[in-house]
Amino acid sequence: MRLQKPGRRAGWVALRGAYGTGALSGLAAVGYGVIRAQAKHARRTIGEPTGLPPDPTGTYGRHPGPALRLVMLGDSSASGLGADSPAHTPGALLAGGIARDLKRKVRLDGYAFVGARSADLDAQVAKALQRQVDLAVIMVGTNDVTHGIGPATAGRDLGRTVQTLRAAGVLVVVGTCPDLGVVKPLMQPLRTVASFLSRRMAAAQAVAVVENGGVAVTLGSLLTKEFSESDHLWSADRFHPSPEGYRRVTDALLPSLLEGMGVQIQVSVPISSTVQDVKIAAELAAREPGLMVESVPGEQGAAAGGPGRLARVVRRLPVVGRGAPDARLADDVPEVVQEPGPQDPLASG
């Protein structure tokens, strides 16, 4: 896994700018000076991240046959910043879970880095596709929001990435932009602004992913009340998830990966499955974390670009009772290589 040093934790100026341009007309009565003061306070409180994400690169599971190759793409959430060991990163949890449930070895490689935005995905994919890829998980969007990148622009960048991977035969699962409104150092009204912008980003991402043949899993804030009230789900910087927080994230992503690989075991219980217009499905998913959205097959499917643009929306119960993920092989632990961090002084997680 190629790692980069974290950049400065900032970028909240983008939220101030979005408010100043009228993105939230309902908050027009709130003074711009209040937003500006709270954004500065959030930046001081969150501070700068320290250390590097743990490196989970390697092969998981001792099973016969060739290994599936899983790649992690995106920003600090995909690289696992905030986890206290490689085994607690999203990549390791997903690779180990897939190896356990499919009885296949899984080779994990990561190209995500701290501060990445959707525009950085092209370069990450180019590196990943130098060898065959079977599965790709993308987690991105936070830095697009904090740097004022519009949902349409970020959505096009993400959609192009999904299209490239799907053309190479890769199963693509995207965890959409989380709800920044649950980040504890943010106060009102900045919290409401952040929540609005991140949900708008998540909806645009879901449409872009589904239209290009990928599967979108809406992370939102997952269990909003629990994340808001439970310190153990946050790492020391109070911005990135803790190991337990990352486990909640991977519990939401894993069923879609297994279903895409044709797994027959009962990994989670679907509560409901409905078919909706893709934009309606995306808006619904942006409001309700944990939903899976994918194109329906055939000419009316969103991925086919035909009339109707339909998507399937699936609600599931969390993954339970599956046991511990398969561990990384002890003889396949890589040497950690540190690289220079992003040059953008406003790069965040």
Task: Name the one residue in this structure whose structure tokens are 């989380």.
Answer: 178
- Can you tell me which residue has the tokens 């525009």? 119
Count of C-beta atoms within a 10 Å radius of residue 48: 12
Measure the CA–CA gap between 147 and 154, rounded to whole angstroms: 11
CA distance 165 to 221: 27
- In what order do the strands lie in the sheet containing 310-316? 58-60, 106-110, 68-74, 135-139, 171-175, 215-217, 292-295, 310-316, 270-277
CB distance 101 to 263 below 8 Å: yes
**How many Cβ atoms sit within 10 Å of the Cβ of residue 133?**
22
Is residue 60 a contact partner of residue 100, using CB atoms and an 8 Å limit? no
Torsion of CA 276, 279, 280, 286, to 10 degrees: 120
**Structural contact between residues 309 and 242, judged by C-beta atoms closer than 8 angstroms:** no
For residues 145 and 18, give the distance between their C-alpha atoms in angstroms, rounded to a whole number: 9
Cβ atoms of 81 and 53 closer than 8 Å: yes
- Are 142 and 79 within 8 A, CB to CB? no
Alpha-carbon span 250 to 81, nearest angstrom:
14
Q: How far apart are CA 278 and CA 26, in angstroms?
A: 27
Q: Where are the alpha helices (DSSP H) in 88-189?
A: 90-102, 121-128, 142-146, 151-167
Residues designated as active site:
76, 237, 240
